[in-house]
Amino acid sequence: MKVLVTGAGGTLGRAVLPRLRADGFDVRATSRRPRHDPGADWAVVDLASGAGLDEAVAGVDAVLHLASLPNSRHTHRVDVLGTRRLALAAGRAGVGHLVYVSIVGVDRVSLPYYRHKLAAEQVVSAGPVPWTVLRATQFPPFLDRLLRASSRLGPVIGDPAVLAQPVDQHEVAGRLAERLAVGPLSGIEEYAGPQVLRFDEAVRAWQSARGSRRPLLPVRFPGRLGRALREGGLTTTASPTGTRTWADHLDDTYGRIGAR
């Protein structure tokens, strides 16, 4: 099976490409700029304009759509209109399966970026190509970067009761390979890590792994958004789940095991 992977240079894309190749898929990857990689077939595609799309989808059996431009003034143009351009091009090319990667909570958490992701899901489900949507929870590197950003002023700032369920991106890559092998679901699947953590638990583990003594400065997120985050809007009870925990990521990243 030949698979086109959009957004192949991102966190998930870098995990997906070797996994698909190891599983025997013939992979074509896309980026917005030319890449010189003798070990990969790269196509230049601009979702914002549609440039390169028809050439990229030609001759492929499935499309794995990872590309996204979060929190930008161009997010709608890329994530929603670009997804529509991709779906239409794939339909014209006779592609048999379009897999779109979204986020757990896009239908429950009122973040602007999530509204774009939800709209893109709707584009995929209404499009001309048999489809699957896989919603994943946050990747550990994202949570790691979030904690670094929230502690730039000294203490780690955040709502201690917010719930998260980080999932290893390599395990998501494996699940996507399985979904491609099975074929279109014509529905939405959620995939998450094995452990639901409060923000303060995640912070304590992160501090322990890094040998940090920075305190947690609790700030309760207000309104409907805060309530949704505290009530588990970013988590799921769906199964199966991944097996790797936040502590596993911390051990790999910092060489020490965070508090479990």
Neighbours of 47 (CB within 10 A): 26
> In this structure, what CATH number is given to the domain that contains residue 53?
3.40.50.720
Within a domain: 233: no
First to last CA, the chain: 41
The alpha carbons of the chain give a radius of gyration, in whole angstroms, of: 19
34 occurs within a structural domain: yes
Whether 228 is in a domain gets the answer no
Query: How many domains in the chain?
Result: 1
Q: For the segment 181-209, what is each residue's pLDDT rounded down to a tens digit? A: 999 999 999 999 999 999 999 999 999 99
DSSP string, 88-139: HHHHHTT-SEEEEEEETTTTTS--HHHHHHHHHHHHHHHSSS-EEEEEE---
Q: What is the DSSP letter of 220?
A: P
- Is 255 a domain residue? no
Q: Are 217 and 157 in contact (CB under 8 A)?
A: yes
In a domain, 198, yes or no: no
For CA atoms 118, 120, 122, 124, the dihedral sign is negative
Query: Do the domain assignments include residue 207?
Result: no
In a domain, 50, yes or no: yes
At 33-43, the pLDDT tens digits run 888 776 678 99
Q: Residue 29 belongs to what domain range?
A: 2-137+169-191
State pTM to two decimals: 0.94
Q: What is the pLDDT of residues 29-65, one digit of tens each?
A: 999 888 877 667 899 999 999 999 999 999 999 999 9
Quick check: is 225 in a domain? no
**Element at 207 (helix H, strand E):** helix 199-210
